Each structure stands twice: as C-alpha cells, then as structure tokens.
C-alpha cells in the first residue's frame, strides 16, 4: 500500500521533499484576506496540451512518447520512467459524474472502511446526513472488559457506538456524550476502501475483514483502462481499491505502493474533481521528481519499474481560475446534485484500483 520510512529531518533534505515544498500551497496574509502565494508552474508537464499537440501533429516534448498499442485514445509515456502511462481525458463526463456520486454516497458505506472507523466505528449514510445537516452522537460504549478481548483488527466493533440524529433533536439529550456535525466528518473524510481490505497497522491485506466487492461497472472500467500496461494476453483483475479524498490545502506525501504481489500488474488511478499536481520521483527520494497536472477524467497507470518510484500529490487547485471543473459544474444542476457540486468545487477524489494477488 503506502510505505514511507524516512524521518522528518532526513526528508527535509531530499529532492522529493524540496519539490513538495515548492508546489505546496502557501498563503500570504493581507489586511483584507488570505491570498494564495504565487508558485512557478512553468516546469509542470501538461498532458492536456501534449494531447492537443499530438492531435495537431505537432512534435511532442522531449522525453514524452506515445504508446504504440491498440487502444481507443492516445496513451503517453515518460521515457525516463518505464511502466508509467498517462491517459488524458480517459473518463467521459458521464463517467466522471457517476464516480463522483458513488465515491461520496456509496463507497464510504459499511462494511467498507474509512479513516473514521478507528474513532467512530462504522458510519452509515455520511453524505446524506451531511446534506440533511444531521449530527453524529455517541449513544453507548462497549464494556471495557469486552473490548480488551478483541484484537486490533476488530477495533471497529468495540469503538463507541454512534448514530446520526437531527441537529436540534436527540443530539441534545443527556445520553449523547459527544457529537460532531456530519458536514465536518465529510470534510475530514480522507479515504475509503473497496474490495479486499487493507490492515494499516500490519501493512497487509486481510481477506477475513468484511467488505463489499468492487462494483462491476468500476471493475470493467478499470480493466479497460489497465489494458495498455498489461502483459500481452493477460487481463487485469481488480481486487482492491482505495478512494482518496482531498480538500483545499491537503496533500499526499511521497510514498510507494508496494504491498501487492505482482508489480507487473498496474495500479489504475483515476482523478475526479479539482486539478492537482502529481509528483513522480525515482527509486530514491534523492531523485528529482517530475511534476505534472492531473485533471478530472485523467487516468494514470503505474506498473513494473514505475511501481518502485516514489510519488505523491503536493497540491490541489480549488480556485475558480485553476480548478478546471467547469465541465463538471453543468452535470450537477438538479436539486439533488447541489451537494455533490458544493463538495467537488473544493475537492479532488482519486480512485486507485489494484490487483492484489
């Protein structure tokens, strides 16, 4: 899954860390408002522009090539990073809308796990509750002696029991020890998992944990996207997925995805929502990473040697000028879509799908 073994002091000196600090969002405070500090983006690769050049028969950037393989759209490669593939605009606008909805309303549903499980246990209907301005309240605790008999993998079972209630209803009762608005929990949602569940404490997949299968439609999409990076004659088998949620100011530090058995099979990574900067480093943090834009609908494949490369997301763009989501705003105009639009205007979602075995 994710591996990062370098200390904070060491990471401050690495080339990867320097690039993260270069592109990370910073603010300058003025008397009237907080202003985003300017950052030089001239060295960031823009595959949308590269695609336009390719379609216009303009010579591509040095180090960028097109994969000569039967696929329904251009797939770009970086010659210095074998096993890395970039498919700009891989998802249609309808697919982007569908998976934004699923990522918010369906994927965090139990028995799928989220970052909230460790504190609140399984949380039902988070997105709907946030839309309805409900509050999560603690209603009971597991007996301490019962909890002590359960191992770490069952920690969700003995966590405090919570439920959503009306904002001015049961949340004020004497039995409610703690409460937190669903809208706050939604903004603090960082990940959810589909398919085989990953045990973060032991850094391994645990097939015994309850889970939902990855939806068939998402499996088919992942298989189609993975095809350019698959060994000839083999088909990608989606077995696990992580959905990452990014808000304004969030970042994903440099890491490796290294817990799957066969690195010849790609990780299929699809972007939704606000534009981001993606850093693709080398096999050492001392290797200077390549920066590139990720837009809603783009897909990235990482297989083989690319699986050994550090990578991360130091920044997302939520301002109207740079977020690049105008095409999405027209998709959520109905009454039931306003909350999806409110979320995606300030957020990015990444769905990455893996073949574990």
Burial class (CB within 10 angstroms; exposed 0-12, middle 13-18, buried 19+) of 53: middle
Q: Which helix (H) or strand (E) holds 130?
A: helix 126-131
Whether the Cβ atoms of residue 71 and residue 228 lie closer than 8 Å to each other: yes
211 is in an annotated binding site: no
Sequence-distant (6+) residues with CB within 8 A of 105 are 127, 128
**Residues 217, 199 contacting (CB under 8 angstroms):** no
According to the annotation, is 168 in a ligand binding site? no
Residue 138 contacts residue 161 (beta carbons within 8 Å): yes
Note the Cα 328 to chain centre separation in Å.
Answer: 18
Is the separation of the CB atoms in 117 and 185 below 8 Å? Answer: no
Listed in order, strand segments (DSSP E) in 191-266 are 191-195, 197-199, 204-206, 240-247, 252-255
Tell me the three state secondary structure of residue 21: helix
**What's the CA angle centered on 229, arms 227 and 235, to 5 degrees?**
45
* 255 annotated to a ligand binding site: yes
| Closest C-alpha among 176, 104, 111 to residue 343 | 104
Cα separation, 47 vs 301, in Å, equals 14
Binding residues: 255, 257, 311
Binding residues for Fe cation: 255, 257, 311
């Amino acid at each position: 899954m994710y591996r990062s073994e370098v200390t904070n002091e060491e990471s401050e000196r690495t080339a990867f860390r320097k690039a993260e600090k270069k592109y990370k969002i910073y603010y300058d405070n003025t008397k009237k408002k907080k202003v985003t500090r300017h950052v030089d983006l001239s060295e960031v690769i823009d595959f949308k522009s590269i695609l336009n050049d390719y379609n216009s028969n303009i010579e591509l950037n040095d180090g960028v090539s097109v994969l000569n393989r039967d696929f329904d759209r251009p797939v770009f490669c970086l010659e210095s990073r074998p096993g890395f593939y970039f498919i700009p605009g891989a998802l249609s606008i309808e697919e982007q809308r569908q998976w934004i909805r699923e990522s918010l309303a369906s994927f965090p549903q139990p028995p799928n796990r989220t970052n909230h499980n460790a504190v609140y246990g399984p949380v039902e209907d988070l997105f709907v509750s946030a839309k309805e301005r409900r509050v999560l309240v603690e209603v009971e605790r597991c007996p301490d002696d019962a909890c002590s008999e359960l191992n770490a993998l069952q920690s969700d079972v003995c966590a405090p029991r919570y439920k959503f209630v009306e904002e001015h209803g049961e949340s004020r009762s004497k039995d409610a020890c703690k409460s937190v608005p669903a809208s706050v929990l939604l903004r603090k949602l960082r990940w959810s998992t589909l398919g085989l569940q990953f045990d973060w404490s032991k850094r391994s997949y645990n097939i015994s944990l309850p889970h939902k299968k990855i939806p068939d439609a998402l499996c088919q999409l992942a298989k189609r996207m993975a095809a350019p990076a698959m060994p000839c004659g083999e088909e990608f088998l989606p077995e696990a997925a992580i959905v990452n949620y990014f808000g304004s100011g969030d970042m994903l530090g440099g890491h490796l995805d290294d817990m799957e058995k066969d690195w010849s099979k790609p990780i299929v990574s699809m972007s939704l929502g606000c534009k981001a900067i993606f850093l693709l480093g080398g096999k050492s943090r001392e290797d200077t990473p390549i920066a590139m834009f990720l837009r809603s609908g783009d897909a990235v494949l990482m297989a083989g040697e690319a699986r050994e490369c550090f990578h991360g997301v130091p920044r997302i763009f939520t301002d109207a000028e740079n977020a690049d989501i105008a095409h999405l705003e027209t998709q959520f105009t109905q009454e039931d879509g306003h909350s999806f639009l409110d979320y995606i205007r300030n957020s990015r979602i990444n769905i990455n799908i893996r073949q574990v075995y």
